[in-house]
């Protein structure tokens, strides 16, 4: 497992841990889903519902795979055990990536404009400078757009335990857990 992958998931863990108690709980995912959906006012209800469902599936996968004592909390060590195990988490990440990218493409043209991308990534909790660096790393068009498929691939790469030097590394700036 690459250090870059651990740094990436450490950042995600801290962003999901809304109340900062060092554990992930269902409420953390509900809050994040609401924030992300709110940041996409031009998306239709189908895309918003798919995003909420993807966040719910993300949480349910963690609980089903890890929460043996059923206390409704996931620690960082437990989290990394699942999200960096492709055989356990790939389908969940695929669903999440496709739902987030679809939410970012409200007109359905297969392209995501920078302002929409920034709004969604800001709602997740990423820093603006890192968001812009990521968008630029995706190689936007002259009209400052990226393809839905580029973002989906970028999200999937972000969760890969073997990937290093990827566009998503631009999001990490010293995340600690």
Let me know the angle formed at the C-alpha of 135 by 94 and 35, rounded to the nearest 5 degrees: 60
Q: What is the mean pLDDT of each run of 10 residues along the chain (177 residues)?
A: 79 92 94 97 96 94 80 85 75 93 96 98 95 96 98 92 88 62
Q: For the domain 3-169, what is the CATH superfamily, name and number?
A: EF-hand (1.10.238.10)
Report domain extents, the chain.
Answer: 3-169
Please tell me whether residue 146 adopts helix, strand or coil conformation. Answer: strand
Give the separation between CA 123 and CA 125, rounded to whole angstroms: 5
What are the angstrom distances between the C-alpha of 28 and each of 17, 86, 108, 134? 6, 23, 29, 24
pLDDT of residue 22: 93
pLDDT of residue 72: 86
The pTM of this model reads 0.90
Nearest to 139, CA basis, from 124, 154, 127: 154
Please tell me whether residue 24 adopts helix, strand or coil conformation. Answer: strand
């Amino acid at each position: 497992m690459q250090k870059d992958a651990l740094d990436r998931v450490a950042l995600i863990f801290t962003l999901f841990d809304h109340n900062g108690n060092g554990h992930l709980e269902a409420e953390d995912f509900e809050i994040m889903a609401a924030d992300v959906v709110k940041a996409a006012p031009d998306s239709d209800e189908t895309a918003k519902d798919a995003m909420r469902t993807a966040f719910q599936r993300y949480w349910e996968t963690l609980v089903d795979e890890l929460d043996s004592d059923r206390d409704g909390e996931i620690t960082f060590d437990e989290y990394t055990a699942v999200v960096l195990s492709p055989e356990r988490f790939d389908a969940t990440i695929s669903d999440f990536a496709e739902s987030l990218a679809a939410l970012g493409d409200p007109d359905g043209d297969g392209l995501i404009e920078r302002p929409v991308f920034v709004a969604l990534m800001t709602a997740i909790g990423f820093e603006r400078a890192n968001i812009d660096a990521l968008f630029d790393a995706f190689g936007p068009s002259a009209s400052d757009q990226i393809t839905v498929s580029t973002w989906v691939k970028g999200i999937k790469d972000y969760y890969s335990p073997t990937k290093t030097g990827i566009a998503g590394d631009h999001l990490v700036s010293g995340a600690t857990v």
